[in-house]
Structure 1
């Protein structure tokens, strides 16, 4: 009886050692796997993050757009080199919205020029108001655009305006700007709005598309784009609020060549 008991005890001891050994091996493997994931994440993804956001790869020209919502801007800080890999080459600023003007436009417009950064102005379009009058207010507010980026009409809300009326007023606005500046304006909107409300009628205009759901390129749209607003949550020195970040499709050449850097 005693010898049998000793054998059984020894057997039990051996069977209890095996699970313990495998637990240690499994724990070690899990630890190594987690370490590998951390290393890959640091070197593969960390380098893609600039200004607090993921910057799409493969684009060389980057810019921001601003309005009075960004508050008072420290232009000295904004225009200082902040990232060795991603340089801000241009800034668009809101000049007017409907029949009102942006409170910070005049200051931002002058400061951008004084600091030597390529600048452009945009009009936030209200479809429930006359398109010609909105363009005329923009022209009065902005003035001449020699050496500046093309004018932009930002349309992203219907304000319960009939689709046909919306298109007519937008076309009136674009025609007025085109006739005055001698350059075709850029249309800014988001992918589904362009698809549902604008479409082929406005395919002849350069397109600035807002789309935040993809990291490679915008989808939901079947036409070329010229500027891609890929994030509205960027952070940059000189501005305390979040900032929209954009990349330029230099292949379409709507910008002066010095902006693209080619």
Structure 2
């Protein structure tokens, strides 16, 4: 793993040495000018689809269609609530998200405990991951932040791709013994085509590596 060697400010720095950059969005970003986004060499986007057992993001389908139309690799994520039934949460996600060939793997966003024990959190996470993997025959990605990972998930789920949120370069975004696949390095990014601050990410690999992660349905 290469160290992030940054001299920029703590809140808005751009990691050096990563050629594949992307963003993630939800209903907070109502309007996205995908043409402008694409022109800034944004290669991928993760879009919030669902949360808990009933909530669907109201801008998901619009963002989902538009990203594809403008040839930005797209992925969908579910915000996990550990206190709610994990099977119902997986069904909520699968009902909303229909992956097509070339889409990124599904993502489970795990960053709150809902006052559940680590064992309960991990059991629910595993159930969601299993159901979604069974549907698509593709290992989902786990998104979490640095401290939540260290406190609740470290040593578990090591065979799933990890997308880590970590905004303080002074403390290094590296985990003790895990490699991350995606790194959300700021929540205060600014790009043309999207109003306000947004999350920016880098992919730990080449475009070819990213394409190789994508969904390929079994031929009928």
User: When the two structures are superposed, what TM-score results if normalisation uses the length of structure 2?
Assistant: 0.86
| Equivalent residue, structure 2, for 1:180 | 135
Q: Deviating runs (4+, > 4 A) in structure 1?
A: none
1:137, CA displacement in angstroms? 1.1
Q: Where does 1:219-230 land on structure 2 (aligned, <5 Å)? A: 219-230=174-185
| Equivalent residue, structure 1, for 2:49 | 95
Q: Deviations over 1:140-195 (max 9, x none)?
A: 10113321001110000001112211111110000001100101100000112111
1:74, CA displacement in angstroms? 2.5
Q: Deviations over 1:54-76 (max 9, x none)?
A: 21111110000000011222333
Q: What is the count of residue pairs matched by the alignment? A: 206
- Structure 2: where are the runs of 5+ without partners? 1-5, 215-220
* Mapped pair 1:195 → 2:150: yes
SS where residue 106 of structure 1 aligns?
helix
SS where residue 71 of structure 1 aligns?
coil
CA contact 1:90–1:117 (8 Å) conserved in 2: yes
CA RMSD between the two structures: 2.4
CA contact 2:104–2:213 (8 Å) conserved in 1: no
Q: Where does 1:50-199 land on structure 2 (aligned, <5 Å)? A: 53-79=12-38, 81-82=39-40, 87-99=41-53, 100-199=55-154
Report the Cα distance in structure 1 between the residues aligned to 2:20 and 2:171, rounded to whole angstroms.
15
**Which entry has the higher C-alpha Rg, 1 or 2?**
1
| Equivalent residue, structure 2, for 1:235 | 190
